[in-house]
Amino acid sequence: MESKWLEDFLSVARTGNFSRSAEERHVTQSAFSRRIKALEQWVGVALVDRSSYPTRLTVAGEQFREVARESMALLLKTRHDLRNVLNGDRNLLRIAVQHSLAGDFLAQWLAKLPLQRHGTMVRVSADDLHDCVRALEEGNADFLVCHAHIDLPLDLDNERFPSLLLSEDKLIPVSRPDAHGQAQHALRPETGCPVRWLSYSADAFLGHTVAVTLEGQAPRLPLQAVFESALVEALRAAAKAGLGLAWLPGNLIAADLAGGQLVRAGPVNLDVPLQVRVFGNRASLTGERRALWETAQNIAERETADPLPAMHEVCA
């Protein structure tokens, strides 16, 4: 039996709706249903009455709900207590960071914080956005550093997970230059010529942001997908090798553009606007971590001016 099954069960007990709970738990509805069935198989009885709408619990499910709630509360408390003991002798800052920001950007941002003064040990976990968000929600990360897009809000509660704007960014269509310094794989919508496209995986957050921009183009851009990856560094390497055109974060490829290793391969109206934000887990913002968050807030207010004030509310 897995603890996430209990969380799934408590979610559907609260919402009475499998699809709403699947969204809440960041899984597909089919995967969510399989996990509920797996829990029922482990218990040995049906817990959910699927013959009614909204979904209700069976009599056994009502009994099990109290046990599940108490069990999860005890597990979370015990985990919290054990972590406090483990980290009691040092100030540990756990950061979940999106792969695309785990290199220079994160290091440069951390260099602005008074980590040495606070004697802080930083532990970084780089992952896709979905798993980073889950790490923050489940208390496995104190900070989350990620890209944000106004049309693709993160389902994070503003009270529990406040956020700060760290930087403006954008995805730029780029390619390796040819012998004349022009884009080897240039996107010229007016010609209709197919262009080799290095695309993000379908479930990658940056891929969704590119899709939002492409969907608004008429006529449809002549892109021919020839390479796919969820990792921005893989697309960057493929673009520099001349395999095709890719939309890459401006912060990441600034040196490549300045050195001529990559050049713009499409008009500016095809740039995808992004923000870089840090989310904090309010429950863990105590002591030295709270002091670091307040310093980060002061730096953010000094260095950035948020042109979209609603972004904090939407993304947080």
Number of domains in the chain: 3
81 and 200: one domain? no
On the question of pLDDT at 103 being above 80, the answer is yes
Q: Are residues 114 and 156 in the same domain?
A: yes
> Is the pLDDT assigned to residue 209 strictly greater than 50?
yes
Same domain, 256 and 138: no
pLDDT value at residue 95:
95
Name the nearest CA neighbour of 206 among 281, 296, 274, 294: 274
- Alpha carbon 218 to chain centroid, angstroms: 29
Distance CA 168, CA 149 (A): 11
Write the CB contacts of 162 (distance below 8 Å, at least 6 apart in sequence). Answer: 279, 280, 282, 312, 316
User: In the structure, what pLDDT confidence band is assigned to residue 308 with cuts at 50, 70 and 90?
Assistant: very low
d(CA 185, CA 226): 12
In the numeric block, the tokens 């395999």 are attached to 243
Same domain, 185 and 267: yes
Q: Which helix (H) or strand (E) holds 284?
A: none
Span 213-227, mean pLDDT? 88
Q: Among 30, 55, 85, which residue terminates a domain? A: 85
Range with the poorest average pLDDT among 29-43, 75-89, 122-136, 192-206: 75-89
pLDDT of 182 = 95
Within 176-292, strands assigned E span 195-200, 223-229, 246-249, 263-264, 272-280
The pLDDT-based confidence of 3 (bands split at 50, 70, 90) is: confident
Within a 13 Å sphere around the CA of 2, how many CA atoms are in the beta-carbon half? 8
Residue 148 identity:
A
Pick from 89, 129, 138: which is nearest to 231 by CA? Answer: 129
Q: Which two tokens stand for residue 41?
A: 């198989």
Return the minimum-mean-pLDDT range out of 60-69, 213-222, 228-237: 213-222
- Same domain for 62 and 188, yes or no, is no
Whether the predicted pLDDT of 149 surpasses 60: yes
Q: Residue 101: give the domain boundaries.
A: 90-166+275-315
* C-beta separation of 195 from 270 below 8 A: no
Q: Where are the alpha helices (DSSP H) in the chain?
A: 3-15, 18-24, 29-43, 59-86, 104-110, 129-137, 205-215, 232-240, 250-258, 287-303, 310-315
pTM of this prediction? 0.69
Q: Taking residues 53-75, what's their average pLDDT?
A: 87
Q: What is the CATH number of the domain that holds 301?
A: 3.40.190.10
Structure tokens, 74: 């005890």
